[in-house]
Structure 1
Amino acid sequence: MRRLDRRRSFLPLALLGAGLLAGCVTRGTIVESGLSPAVRRATLESLANWEARGRIALKTPGTSGQGSFAWIQTGDQAVLRVSGPFGAGAYEIRWDPARLTVLSKRGEVAADYTGPDAAERFLDEQLGWSLPVANTRHWLLGLVGPDSPAVPIVDASGLLVSLTQDGWQVRYGEYRTQGGIAMPRKLVFESAAGRIRFVVDAWQF
């Protein structure tokens, strides 16, 4: 297993910027899709391939910053591309259930973790976080992760307002319709260890 140099921190470098995405996520625009909660959930759970692109901001006790992101999901494999302003500190993180690889903007392998907990070990070493990566793709879609107990709160339309799962709270501030489905536009992942904010500018599926 190839590990990162402990003196270097790739995720914070990738998110360096002028400041965090402003303010707390508050309940914003809700777009009615016309789908029942059960149909929406079944439709999203059946998606094998999808993409989300937008802006991301990270805050931990030791660092903060912002950048752009692209999350590309293909079956059980995911690619997360994160870059700071003007392409500085760009990295690509690829993972599947058995491996995580970090590539620099030159395409060089900066880190390579293997094993079913590869993504979790990477985040723990880099940020000191215990983030349930397997559930993250479900949270981004506005779904409860299927593999652990959760406390969801939904609105009158059945859309998630907040979700507590695996020691994290996910808050949904805005939805927009894409392909006839209400999709998260603004959301926050937060725990005692730190906070990640997403603004999704485009969905594709």
Structure 2
Amino acid sequence: MIRALAIAALALFASACALLPGADQPQQLQQLSSWQVQGKLSVRNSSDSVTGYMTWKQDGDRYNLFVSGPLGQGSSRLSGDRQHASLTLPDQDTPMQAANAEQLLYEQLGWSIPVAGLPYWIKGMAAPDSQAAEQRDNYGLLAELQQDGWTISYKRYQQYQGVWLPGLIKLTGYDYKLTLAINDWTLYD
């Protein structure tokens, strides 16, 4: 009887360990280049506050972020890649264009949002092009990241197709607070 309990306990422990992030987690995140998230996005600064439902699709360098207000009202779309960005705001037929998303958002909305770093930060990893300070939780997952003047806090990780991805991300910096509450990840890689 004791032997059977010991074997059952060992099997339970082994299956629980399989659910924890492995040493290959950083490599899995680097290889993850095509994905989609759905959830809520909130952007706040001292003079403005915007909240909406988001669908963000990333395919390599190409991104497409669709944000809509309650009941689909006031939808906006930001799309592009490293060389080009396009922004369509509510009640506009013609998208506005710029060389990059940061420039476009600043010109059109007065916002300084780090769009280039977001595809990395949303996955729970530092962007590769600048220095970063990381704090990890007891499972080795990113708990807090400081990069490019931003502090990014991670909560509520969930496993999707063998990869641990954040469900709640809070970014603060440059008088801005962004919150991404992710309900669902779809991985295409």
TM-score bucket of the superposed structures, by smaller chain:
0.7 to 0.9
Give the distance between the partners of 1:170 and 1:128, measured in 2 at CA. Answer: 21
| Separation in 1, partners of 2:82, 2:56 | 16
Q: 2:37 — aligned with what?
A: 52
Contact 1:162 1:170 in 2 (8 A): yes
- Are 1:101 and 1:109, in contact at CA under 8 Å, matched by a contact in 2? no
Gaps of 5+ in 1: 1-31
Structure 2: 5+ residue runs without aligned partners?
Answer: 1-17
Distance 1:129 1:102, change over 3 A: closer
User: Within 2, Cα distance between the matches of 1:119 and 1:201?
Assistant: 24
Partner of 1:83: 68
Structure 2 residue 151 is the aligned partner of structure 1 residue 166: no
Cα pair 1:79 1:93 within 8 Å, conserved: yes
Q: CA deviation at 1:204?
A: 0.4
Look up the equivalent residue of 1:85 and give its one-letter code.
P
Percent identity of equivalent pairs: 29
Q: Distance in 2 between matches of 1:48 and 1:186?
A: 20
Q: Which runs of 4+ in 1 moved over 6 A?
A: none
More helix by share: 2
Matching residue of 1:138: 120
**Corresponding residue SS for 1:122:** helix
2:117 is equivalent to residue 110 of structure 1 = no
Change (3 A) 1:84 1:153: same
Offset from partner CA, 1:76-105 (integer Å, 9 cap, x none): 100000011011110111110010011356
Q: Which has the larger radius of gyration?
A: 2
CA RMSD of aligned residues (A): 2.0
Counterpart of 1:123 in 2: which secondary structure?
A: helix
